[in-house]
């Protein structure tokens, strides 16, 4: 039984879809092909793929708009654009927004396969970092407003007494909030917490 494809191709040209499906099969990769951006969006979660290969210019929603839409929804897998000669400026704009690379048509088969395989490796790293950020966001969401106030002050290096004075609460209450913040965030010190929050940048 074949595993789910890890590569998704979106191109309105049936000949290109067929050719690339054969190309990647010959290199041991299964590819899911879609005739339009809408078809990909109507499919199961696009973030399950490890690499997206998008035609930049298509009827309806083009590849660049699809790329932006997926990014706004959450995790967007590493993306390669296929472009015509006149689309290079837009492809460069896509690179600035996080796309991995673009290839002008007609492109070299080996170059595309190599790029896709690099994307599949990159996806493992990016996905782990994305999930880590999501985990930190979930932990932050569990903090009460008061705990967030205490956290902000002790991250500034304020002592418990200074925090108590600033928030007009007792030192004991500060200690309780501080302990809860560290527990909820899964760290043991303000330094660990500061390093954890840097991962959100």
> Domain boundaries in the chain?
7-129, 142-198
Q: What is the mean pLDDT of the chain?
A: 92
Q: Do 164 and 171 form a contact (C-beta atoms < 8 A)? A: yes
For 51, other C-beta atoms within 10 Å of its C-beta total: 25
Grade residue 153 by pLDDT with cuts at 50, 70 and 90. Answer: very high
Superfamily (CATH H level) for 7-129:
Response regulator (3.40.50.2300)
Model confidence at 161: pLDDT above 50 = yes
Q: For the segment 25-70, what is each residue's pLDDT rounded down to a tens digit? A: 999 999 999 999 999 999 878 889 999 999 999 999 999 999 999 9
Grade residue 1 by pLDDT with cuts at 50, 70 and 90. Answer: very low
49 phi-psi bin (left φ>0, alpha ψ -120 to 50, beta other): beta
| CATH class of the domain defined by 142-198 | mainly alpha
pLDDT, residue 3, reads: 56
Averaged pLDDT, 154-183: 95
pLDDT, residue 35, reads: 96
Distance CA 149, CA 143 (A): 10
Compute the half-sphere exposure of residue 18: CA atoms within 13 Å on the CB side of its CA. 3
Averaged pLDDT, 120-129: 94
Distance CA 92, CA 101 (A): 8
Q: What is the pTM of this model?
A: 0.80
DSSP string, 67-82: HHHHHHHS----EEEE
Model confidence at 186: pLDDT above 50 = yes
Q: For the segment 84-113, what is each residue's pLDDT rounded down to a tens digit? A: 877 778 888 888 989 999 998 889 999 999
């Amino acid at each position: 039984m074949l595993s789910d494809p890890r590569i998704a191709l979106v191109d309105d040209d049936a000949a290109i879809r067929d050719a690339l499906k054969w190309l990647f099969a010959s290199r041991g990769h299964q590819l899911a092909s879609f005739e339009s951006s809408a078809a990909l969006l109507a499919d199961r979660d696009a973030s399950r793929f490890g690499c997206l290969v998008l035609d930049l210019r298509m009827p309806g929603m083009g590849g660049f708009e699809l790329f932006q839409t997926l990014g706004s929804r959450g995790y967007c897998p590493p993306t390669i654009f296929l472009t015509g000669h006149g689309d290079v400026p837009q492809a460069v704009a896509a690179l600035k927004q996080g796309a991995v690379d673009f290839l002008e048509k007609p492109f070299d088969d080996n170059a595309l396969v190599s790029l896709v395989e690099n994307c599949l490796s990159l996806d493992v790293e990016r996905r782990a970092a994305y999930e880590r950020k999501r985990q930190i966001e979930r932990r932050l969401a569990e903090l009460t407003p008061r705990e967030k106030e205490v956290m902000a002050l002790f991250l500034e290096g304020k002592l418990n007494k200074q925090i108590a004075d600033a928030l007009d609460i007792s030192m004991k209450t500060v200690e309780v909030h501080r302990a809860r913040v560290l527990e909820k965030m899964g760290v043991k010190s303000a330094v660990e917490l500061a390093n954890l929050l840097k991962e959100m940048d």
